[in-house]
Structure 1
């Protein structure tokens, strides 16, 4: 039976710091002067992961810092630090060292080394065990980055222990939301090369063969929308492997950097000249965040697409799609399936996002003018009072009539277009009802907002969780058998059965847009499904 996981307390970022005085050095003292004062935006960040094998002695730490002095870095996630307990230490160099390990033994342990220039951007640090730690960085006024460092058990440990570590990672992913998420470390797993185009979590530059733990890693990555970034950059093989056996005959890639935002990663490479005597090699990822682009994405995401207006310019929309896809056609055979799909969704969104001015106000301009007149009226005589009363009656009558007319029109459009009745009801309502109280498991009434949200979350987690194991069907395919291409008619039938007005997936492409795209969308989807 698997051991129960231990809950670890989180360390406040201001605790455990030595006093600033002699020994810090000039750079350290200057860096520590305003250690917790926020710096500017972190547009470019260099993140590394490294199984150091030990930081127990001062010599090990000195060796690590000396080696890091020869490379560019901002954050280093560390495995096997072998330090007891959970600590934060400002080093003499001014860098910050976060470590989390077992209290009773110097085995395992993970942590982070944060460069002094970005130390002030660390919002929080948390360890859930000696195998999983997390930091959250403030990279701009409105955006944060979550980095989770992991050290998975080796093949000598039971699968139950591996599953427990993945559960810890999943809990951290769910607990603290961030704009960008990185999961990295020593996974003790070989993912190898991509086996088919359905493995979208992998790029086309993997190396070696896959093992069972590699399958488990890819299963987790797929369920969480993470990409194994080591496999997305073409490097020579000696710049890919991350561990070698004691006799030097076996070399494997088992240290990885995963993210939910592959678009910000500009490079991932193994540094073959970085060496502290470990049997692992340091993996480094370079990131670039385009804050202007991120703001525009946020605006586009929050601005709802005028689907009704799109229906009235179908011809223009379809012509734009055909022209754009014609330009991209020559690149299809030379690109990765992920890149092809990303360009498809981007093209569809770009063409569909053309908006026309539209007022969603239920009240006409004439009524709004009367309301403006009412605001300007000065009631000083009996005649003014009578005129004011009659004007109020007129406004109320017009508002009732116009609101009713607006609602009837929307209902008629919903029936004609076979749109979602629930969505129309939400649009016509005056607002959303909110819970102000909920009954807890012990029967007590809870009014606190955060506690209500937490109870609802736990309820649905239990409702939709399942521990029933279902074996996936095994489908034998003849290697010589030709697979029939997906036809346009098949796509059209599937799309016809999909309802309008439904929420989009992570690609933000609405079903309504696909339906209004006509033959050009059907042709592109058929090609994508056939690749």
Structure 2
């Protein structure tokens, strides 16, 4: 009854204390998932999903008695989402104190891994939860343009680990005759850290433009700054030809990868075209 008083898509529930799982679909089209609690009657999480989002549900899984995971499929402008609902007893709640000391021990939180999606967070007033929890409401806005812009911002060196090499290096571990288990544990942790550091490498996303093309663009800028119009025109022509050739090769590579992975060629072609527009238009890199 309380949910009918507010606008919502998904609500996270905790402390429902059910012994058996429940999945119910109401006449209004809303769908409810409830997990189970432990033997002491502690925990259990669940989610009611509004009619507008119910068609996007992929699955709900209770990972533990205190953590639930709701997967939402991509549908139209709504991106694919993974929503976690987590519960901790009040005795283990996150200790927090406001700068003035007026508020302490806040126990309800919304955490996201994409900051550009979250636009507002607030407490819903006059909503009875039946416990010491309050109803927090987060507003999200996600567009394909913002997702693309975020991907361009995040393109940097990424650390990857060669797990085969790591396993080989870790196999060189030798037990010692130490009687102190703490020292032995510290030595093992240090050995594993060293193995991971030796097995890691840096991987960068493939460039759309080759280094030769980027060098031509740099030379064109230098010629333009020097006021050499003839050289600038010649370098501009070479840049156009080089960019066209690079994009042609990159497009063929993207389509080949999509075909090998069994993905849609049409979607791959569309995504590549949108990425090309994003790259050539600096203003489109900013999220809306």
Which position in structure 2 is the counterpart of 1:111? Answer: 46
Which position in structure 2 is the counterpart of 1:350? Answer: none
Within 5 Å, give how 1:338-349 maps onto structure 2. Answer: none
How far residue 143 of structure 1 moved from its aligned partner, in angstroms, is 4.1
Where structure 2 has 5 or more consecutive residues not aligned to the other structure, the ranges are 156-204, 223-239, 248-255, 258-288
Which position in structure 1 is the counterpart of 2:7? Answer: 72
Which position in structure 2 is the counterpart of 1:279? Answer: 132
The verdict on how the C-alpha distance between 1:317 and 1:115 changes in structure 2, with shifts beyond 3 A counting, is farther
1:265 and 1:144 mapped to 2: Cα distance? 15
Which position in structure 1 is the counterpart of 2:191? Answer: none
How many residue pairs match? The answer is 181
2:82 and 2:60 mapped to 1: Cα distance? 10
2:10 and 2:246 mapped to 1: Cα distance? 48
Q: Secondary structure at the match of 2:75?
A: coil
Within 5 Å, give how 1:255-294 maps onto structure 2. Answer: 255-294=108-147
How far residue 360 of structure 1 moved from its aligned partner, in angstroms, is 5.4
2:131 and 2:116 mapped to 1: Cα distance? 31
1:128 equivalenced with 2:63 (yes/no)? yes
How far residue 208 of structure 1 moved from its aligned partner, in angstroms, is 6.7
Q: Residue deviations 1:53-92, cap 9 Å, x none?
A: xxxxxxxxxxxxx222221111001111111132212245
Q: Which of 21, 35, 38 is the equivalent residue of 1:100?
A: 35
The verdict on how the C-alpha distance between 1:79 and 1:293 changes in structure 2, with shifts beyond 3 A counting, is same
Q: Residue deviations 1:273-330, cap 9 Å, x none?
A: 2223322110110111112443576699777242512233337779xxxxxxxxxxxx
1:357 and 1:272 mapped to 2: Cα distance? 56
The verdict on how the C-alpha distance between 1:294 and 1:279 changes in structure 2, with shifts beyond 3 A counting, is same
Structure index of larger Rg: 1
Within 5 Å, give how 1:500-519 maps onto structure 2. Answer: none
Which position in structure 2 is the counterpart of 1:189? Answer: 94
1:83 and 1:107 in contact (8 A); partners too: no
The verdict on how the C-alpha distance between 1:74 and 1:307 changes in structure 2, with shifts beyond 3 A counting, is same
Within 5 Å, give how 1:365-384 maps onto structure 2. Answer: none
Q: Residue deviations 1:103-155, cap 9 Å, x none?
A: 64533211101112211110011011110000000133694100010012443
1:76 and 1:113 in contact (8 A); partners too: yes
Which position in structure 2 is the counterpart of 1:359? Answer: 245
Q: Secondary structure at the match of 1:124?
A: strand
1:264 and 1:96 mapped to 2: Cα distance? 24
2:23 and 2:141 mapped to 1: Cα distance? 28
1:89 equivalenced with 2:89 (yes/no)? no
The verdict on how the C-alpha distance between 1:92 and 1:190 changes in structure 2, with shifts beyond 3 A counting, is farther
1:306 equivalenced with 2:209 (yes/no)? yes
The verdict on how the C-alpha distance between 1:313 and 1:114 changes in structure 2, with shifts beyond 3 A counting, is same
The verdict on how the C-alpha distance between 1:286 and 1:79 changes in structure 2, with shifts beyond 3 A counting, is same
1:132 and 1:148 in contact (8 A); partners too: yes
Name the Cα RMSD after superposition.
Answer: 3.8
1:110 and 1:133 in contact (8 A); partners too: yes
* TM-score, structure 1 as length reference: 0.30
Where structure 1 has 5 or more consecutive residues not aligned to the other structure, the ranges are 1-65, 157-187, 194-206, 210-236, 242-250, 319-353, 362-430, 433-531
The verdict on how the C-alpha distance between 1:94 and 1:140 changes in structure 2, with shifts beyond 3 A counting, is closer
* TM-score, structure 2 as length reference: 0.52
How far residue 252 of structure 1 moved from its aligned partner, in angstroms, is 3.2
2:31 and 2:100 mapped to 1: Cα distance? 36
2:241 and 2:40 mapped to 1: Cα distance? 63
The verdict on how the C-alpha distance between 1:103 and 1:297 changes in structure 2, with shifts beyond 3 A counting, is closer
2:120 and 2:136 mapped to 1: Cα distance? 11
